[in-house]
Chains A and B, each alone.
Chain A
Amino acid sequence: MANEEDSIPPMQFYGPTDKFGFGQLSEIWRTRELLYSFFLRDLLIRYRQVVVGILWVLLQPLMGMLIFMGLFFVLGTNAGSSTVAFAPIILTGMLCWQLVASSFRDATGSLVNYRHVVTKIYFPRMLLPLASLMCAVFDFAIGSLLLLPVCMLTGTGLVWSTAWLAIPIAMWLILFCAGCIAWLSALNAHYRDVGYALPFVLQLGMFVSPVVYDVERLRSLLTDRWVWLYEANPIATCIGLLRWSLLGTQLPSVLGMATAAGITVLVCFSGLAWFQHADQQLADRI
Chain B
Amino acid sequence: MSIESIQLDKVSKRFRLGATNEYGRLTEAIATGVKNLFRKSPEAAAIRVPDSFADRIEAGWFWALRDIELSIQSGEIVGIVGRNGAGKSTLLKILARIVTPTQGRVGVRGRVGSLLEVGTGFHPELTGRENVFLNGAILGMPRAEIRKRFDEIVAFAEIESFLETPVKRYSSGMAVRLAFAVAAHLEPDVLIIDEVLSVGDQAFQRKCLGKASQLGAQGRTVLVVSHNLAAVANLCQRAVLIRDGRLVADDVPERIIDQYLGEMRAGDGQRVWEDDESAPSSREIRLRSVSVTGNGSDAPASEVDIDQEIGIVVEYKVLVADTPCCVQIQVKDETGAYVFWSANAPSMNLEPDPWFAKPHPTGTYRSECRIPANFLNDTRYFVSVLVGPEVGIVSVRHDSALSFVVHDTGAMRQEYTGSWLGPVIRPRLNWRTKKQ
Contact = CB atoms under 8 A, between A and B. Distances in A.
Contacts of A8: 3, 109-110
B24 A120 contact: no
B93 interface: yes
Contact of A12 (B3, B25, B108): B108
A48 interface: yes
Given A14-B100, A120-B116, A122-B114, A191 B139 contact: no
B29 interface: yes
Contacts of A44: 125-126, 130
A75 interface: no
Given A9-B189, A10-B109, A11-B7, A284 B125 contact: no
Contact of B125 (A34, A40, A48, A122): A48
Contacts of A34: 137-138, 140
Nearest to B112: A122
A82 interface: no
Contacts of B100: 14-15, 279-281, 283
Nearest to B30: A191
Contacts of A190: 24, 29
Interface in A177-202: 187, 190-194
B98 A37 contact: no
Interface string A119-140: 1111100000000000000000
Given A48-B125, A48-B166, A117-B121, A122 B25 contact: no
A18 interface: no
A41 interface: yes
Interface stretch (B15-23, B270-278, B310-318, B323-331): B15-23
Interface string A185-227: 0010011111000000000000000000000000000000000
Given A9-B109, A14-B100, A123-B138, A284 B126 contact: no
Nearest to B64: A284
Contacts, number: 115
Contact of B105 (A13, A49, A114, A118): A13
Contact of B138 (A9, A117, A119): A117
B169 to A, nearest CB: 12
Interface in B47-101: 93, 96-101
A71 B1 CA distance: 76
Interface residues of B, number: 47
B98 A12 contact: no
Given A194-B26, A283-B98, A121 B109 contact: no
Nearest to B109: A11
B361 interface: no
Contacts of A38: 134
A224 to B, nearest CB: 35
B207 to A, nearest CB: 19
A118 B26 CA distance: 21
A120 B29 CA distance: 26
Interface in A1-56: 1, 5, 8-15, 33-34, 36-38, 40-41, 44-45, 48-49
Contacts of A187: 26
A284 B15 contact: yes
A193 B125 CA distance: 29
B123 A33 contact: no
Give the interface size class of chain A.
Answer: 35 or more
A12 B125 contact: no
A1 B133 contact: no
B97 A14 contact: yes
Given A121-B96, A122-B96, A33 B107 contact: no
Given A11-B107, A117-B121, A193 B138 contact: no
A42 to B, nearest CB: 10
B120 interface: yes
Given A12-B108, A44-B130, A48-B166, A285 B21 contact: yes
B99 A284 contact: yes
A194 to B, nearest CB: 7
Interface in B20-41: 21, 23-27, 29
B130 A41 contact: yes
Contacts of A279: 100
A33 B143 CA distance: 7
B22 to A, nearest CB: 9
B223 interface: no
A9 B110 contact: yes
Contacts of B116: 120-121
Nearest to B144: A33
A81 to B, nearest CB: 40
Nearest to B143: A33
A192 B348 CA distance: 44
A281 B101 CA distance: 9
A14 B106 contact: yes
Contacts of B251: none
Interface string B125-136: 110001001100
Contacts of A284: 15-16, 21, 99
Given A11-B4, A48-B166, A283 B93 contact: yes
Contacts of B101: 14
A199 B51 CA distance: 47
Contacts of A49: 125
Given A1-B1, A121-B114, A193 B123 contact: no
29 contacts: A8-B3, A10-B109, A11-B4, A11-B107, A11-B108, A12-B108, A12-B109, A14-B105, A14-B107, A34-B137, A37-B133, A37-B137, A41-B126, A41-B130, A41-B134, A44-B126, A44-B130, A114-B121, A117-B120, A118-B98, A119-B98, A122-B97, A122-B112, A191-B26, A193-B25, A193-B26, A194-B26, A279-B100, A280-B100
Given A13-B107, A117-B120, A283-B98, 16 more contacts: A8-B3, A9-B109, A9-B111, A14-B100, A14-B106, A33-B143, A37-B138, A38-B134, A40-B130, A40-B133, A44-B125, A120-B116, A193-B27, A194-B26, A284-B99, A285-B24
Q: Sort A-B residue pairs by CB-CB distance and give the 7 closest, nearest first.
A: A122-B97, A37-B137, A191-B26, A9-B110, A11-B107, A13-B107, A280-B100
